[in-house]
């Protein structure tokens, strides 16, 4: 039957397959293979869930061994050995060296669940219904998280009002001249502003779906101070930018700030397996047993792969490797791509997440299509999908990284030339 099965029986809701209409069958490292044996270079990284590439040997071996020994796979939140080992390693090798003291809650199984848990906790602790987020934010698709997500098409699909969220213009608004902190101060102090105090402010330190906007260290520090001064919790959504993508394990390390609540998912599972966790300062743990629940919070296979991924992070010093690859990408983009672009177009990024903002969704899509013709899988982000989003695995071989960048350059040249 082939691909028609999807078209005939699967809902119209399917999305990514429309950009890359191939039927995949296997994958290794940064290479996908389709059913016809064609190979595709992956600059999409499972939307950030595959920071260690496809089927990394180290993690795979641990998973196979675990399955072969009939290790427990499903256990809700009953105590289980892989979960114990994951928590212990996370505490001692990730949190303690960074002087972070957090409790961990398993939300499950996907990123939006970690956000829902964070929202529930923040409102329970502070007692205020509102949460503030920033324009351009993406935090998930379930109702609570969706109320924070700004993409209009996704919001329109909710079918109900998305309440109790206020979107504050991000610092890049108004051509980068917007003083977000001053604005928040003013609306909080003005008893005629119409705004109430929120329980929390949620932020991605680098807006990914919003179009690869890297918030400055100063802004993040000012935001932390603003939250402290006003008794507001700060939530960092690390779901896409965390797990070393920005060059440090937690992206907020760059600004030397400590959020009150941290949401993680995607690559925390290590192998593309589902895992979502919410971390919070110990004094915030006001939950009663079972107040937030879910059948798939305890996939022990995910715990096995998550532990192995953390071991890779520490043993191979992946954050440091990202910094080296960041240099390569940044230099290439500035040297080879920037001169091709018009003045209004921008290149933005950090670590191994970069965007070429064509300021024109149609043009960006044409570049994506050209890249796909050359067997490069790459995604779009941002306003009207105008940003080509470069997001390879963190352990991609340098030759493949360069190969992908060269495909992007040629695709950009072709599209821009056709436009002249
Ligand atoms: C920053 C951020 N938060 C939350 C989510 C939601 O995660 P999920 O799609 O696993 O529910 C995403 C997904 O792309 C994300 O990028």
CATH number for 325: 3.90.1150.10
CB of residue 240 inside a 6 A radius of ligand 1: yes
Q: Within a 10 A sphere around the Cβ of 306, how many other Cβ atoms?
A: 29
Do 88 and 177 share a domain, yes or no? yes
**What is the pLDDT, as a whole number, of residue 295?**
94
Q: In testing the pocket of ligand 1, which one of 46, 114, 236, 265 has its CB within 8 Å of the most ligand atoms?
A: 265
Single out the residue in 272, 297, 315 at which a domain terminates: 315
User: What is the residue with the minimal CA distance to atom 10 of ligand 1?
Assistant: 111
**386 assigned to some structural domain:** yes
**382 assigned to some structural domain:** yes
For residue 349, the enclosing domain spans 317-390
Q: In testing the pocket of ligand 1, which one of 48, 140, 144 has its CB within 8 Å of the most ligand atoms?
A: 140
**Which tokens is 231 given?**
């008794």
Do 241 and 197 share a domain, yes or no? yes
Domain count, the chain: 2
Please tell me the distance from the alpha carbon of residue 66 to that of residue 82, in angstroms, as a whole number. 9
Do 251 and 127 share a domain, yes or no? yes
Asked if 300 contacts 83 with a C-beta cutoff of 8 angstroms, the reply is: yes
Splitting the chain (420 residues) into consecutive groups of 10 residues, what average pLDDT does each group show?
91 95 97 97 98 98 98 96 98 98 96 98 98 98 98 96 97 95 98 96 98 98 98 98 98 98 98 98 97 91 98 98 98 98 97 98 98 98 98 98 98 91
Do 99 and 248 share a domain, yes or no? yes
**What is the pLDDT, as a whole number, of residue 20?**
96
Task: Specify the CATH number for the domain of residue 188.
Answer: 3.40.640.10
**44 assigned to some structural domain:** no
CB of residue 47 inside a 6 A radius of ligand 1: yes
CB of residue 110 inside a 6 A radius of ligand 1: yes
Strands 206-207 and 213-214: antiparallel
**What is the pLDDT, as a whole number, of residue 418?**
84
**29 assigned to some structural domain:** no
Do 271 and 355 share a domain, yes or no? no
Asked if 86 contacts 270 with a C-beta cutoff of 8 angstroms, the reply is: no
Work out which ligand 1 atom sits closest to the CA atom of 145: 4
**Which tokens is 8 given?**
């005939």
CB of residue 208 inside a 6 A radius of ligand 1: yes
Work out which ligand 1 atom sits closest to the CA atom of 209: 16
Single out the residue in 273, 289, 315 at which a domain terminates: 315
Do 305 and 362 share a domain, yes or no? no
CB of residue 126 inside a 6 A radius of ligand 1: no
User: What is the residue with the minimal CA distance to atom 13 of ligand 1?
Assistant: 140
**What is the pLDDT, as a whole number, of residue 13?**
94
User: What is the residue with the minimal CA distance to atom 4 of ligand 1?
Assistant: 139
**2 assigned to some structural domain:** no
Please tell me the distance from the alpha carbon of residue 31 to that of residue 28, in angstroms, as a whole number. 5
Asked if 12 contacts 30 with a C-beta cutoff of 8 angstroms, the reply is: no
**98 assigned to some structural domain:** yes
Do 127 and 235 share a domain, yes or no? yes
Single out the residue in 315, 337, 361 at which a domain terminates: 315
Q: Residues with Cβ < 8 Å from 242, sequence gap 6 or more?
A: 249, 250, 251, 262, 264, 266, 267, 268
CB of residue 44 inside a 6 A radius of ligand 1: no
């Amino acid at each position: 039957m082939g691909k028609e099965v999807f078209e005939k029986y699967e809902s119209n809701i399917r999305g990514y397959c429309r950009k890359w209409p191939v039927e995949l069958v296997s994958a290794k490292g940064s290479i996908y293979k389709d059913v016809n044996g064609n190979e595709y270079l992956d600059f999409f990284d499972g939307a950030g869930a595959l920071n260690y590439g496809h089927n990394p040997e180290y993690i795979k071996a641990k998973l196979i061994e675990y399955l072969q020994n009939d290790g427990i796979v499903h256990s809700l939140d009953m105590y289980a050995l892989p979960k114990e080992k994951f928590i212990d390693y996370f505490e001692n090798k990730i949190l303690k060296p960074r002087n972070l003291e957090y409790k961990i809650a398993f939300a499950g199984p996907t990123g939006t669940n970690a956000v829902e848990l964070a929202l529930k906790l923040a409102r329970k602790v502070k007692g205020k219904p509102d949460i503030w987020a920033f324009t351009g934010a993406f935090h998930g698709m379930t109702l609570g998280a969706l109320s924070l997500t700004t993409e209009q098409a996704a919001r329109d699909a909710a079918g109900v009002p998305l309440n109790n969220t206020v979107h504050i213009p991000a610092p890049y608004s108004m051509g980068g001249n917007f003083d977000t902190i001053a604005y928040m101060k003013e609306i909080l102090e003005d008893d005629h502003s119409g705004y109430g105090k929120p329980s929390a402010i949620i932020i991605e330190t680098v807006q990914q779906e919003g179009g690869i906007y890297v918030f400055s260290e100063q802004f993040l520090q000012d935001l932390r101070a603003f939250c402290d001064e006003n008794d507001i919790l700060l939530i960092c959504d690390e779901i896409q930018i965390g797990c070393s993508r920005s060059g440090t394990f937690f992206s907020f390390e760059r600004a030397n700030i400590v959020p009150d609540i941290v949401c993680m998912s995607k690559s925390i599972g290590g192998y593309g397996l589902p895992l979502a966790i919410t971390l919070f300062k110990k004094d915030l743990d006001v939950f009663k047993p079972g107040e937030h629940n879910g059948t798939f919070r305890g996939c022990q296979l995910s715990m096995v792969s998550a532990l192995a991924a953390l071991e890779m992070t520490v043993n191979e010093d992946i954050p440091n490797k990202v910094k080296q690859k960041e240099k390569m990408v940044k230099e290439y983009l500035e040297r080879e791509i920037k001169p091709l672009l018009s003045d209004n177009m921008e290149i933005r990024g950090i670590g191994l997440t970069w965007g070429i903002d064509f300021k024109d969704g149609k043009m960006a899509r044409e570049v994506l299509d050209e890249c796909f013709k050359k067997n490069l899988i790459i995604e779009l982000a941002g306003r009207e999908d105008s940003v080509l989003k470069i997001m390879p695995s963190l352990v991609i071989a340098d030759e493949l990284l360069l190969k992908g960048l060269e495909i992007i350059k040629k695709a950009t040249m072709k599209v821009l030339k056709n436009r002249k």
